[in-house]
Amino acid sequence: MEIKNKTAVITGGAIRLGRAICIDLAKAGANIFCQYFSSDEAATSLVNEIKSMGGKIKTFKIDLTGEGAIAKTTEEAQNTFGQIDILVNNSALFYPTPVGKVTEKDWNTFHELNLKAAFFLSQEAGMLMKKQGSGRIISIGDISFESPWPDFLPYTLTKAGINTMTKGLAKALAPQVLVNCVNPGPVLLPADYNYEQTEKALGRTLLKREGTPDDIAKTVRFLIESEYITGASIPVDGGRHIG
The number of beta carbons lying within 10 Å of the beta carbon of residue 46 is 24
Instruction: Give the chain's domain count.
Output: 1
Residue at 23 is within a domain: yes
Asked if the structure places residue 88 within a domain, the reply is yes
pLDDT of residue 184: 97
**Domain contains 226:** yes
pTM for the model: 0.96
> What is the full per-residue pLDDT of the chain (243 aa) written as tens digits?
999 999 999 999 999 999 999 999 999 999 999 999 999 999 999 999 999 999 999 999 999 999 999 999 999 999 999 999 999 999 999 999 999 999 999 999 999 999 999 999 999 999 999 999 999 999 999 999 988 888 999 999 999 999 999 999 999 999 999 999 999 999 988 778 888 888 888 998 999 999 999 999 999 999 999 999 999 999 999 999 987
pLDDT of 26: 98
Distance of CA 4 to the CA centre of its chain: 20
The predicted pLDDT at position 147 comes to 85
Domain of 32, in residue numbers: 7-242
> Is the peptide bond prior to 175 cis by the omega test (within 30 degrees of 0)?
yes
| Residue 2, in any domain of the structure | no
Q: What is the CATH number of the domain that holds 177?
A: 3.40.50.720
Q: What is the pLDDT of residue 36?
A: 98
Residue 1 domain-assigned?
Answer: no
Q: What is the DSSP string of 136-166?
A: EEEEE--GGGTS--TTBHHHHHHHHHHHHHH
158 within some domain: yes
What confidence score (pLDDT) does residue 132 get?
97
Distance, C-alpha 77 to centroid of its chain: 17
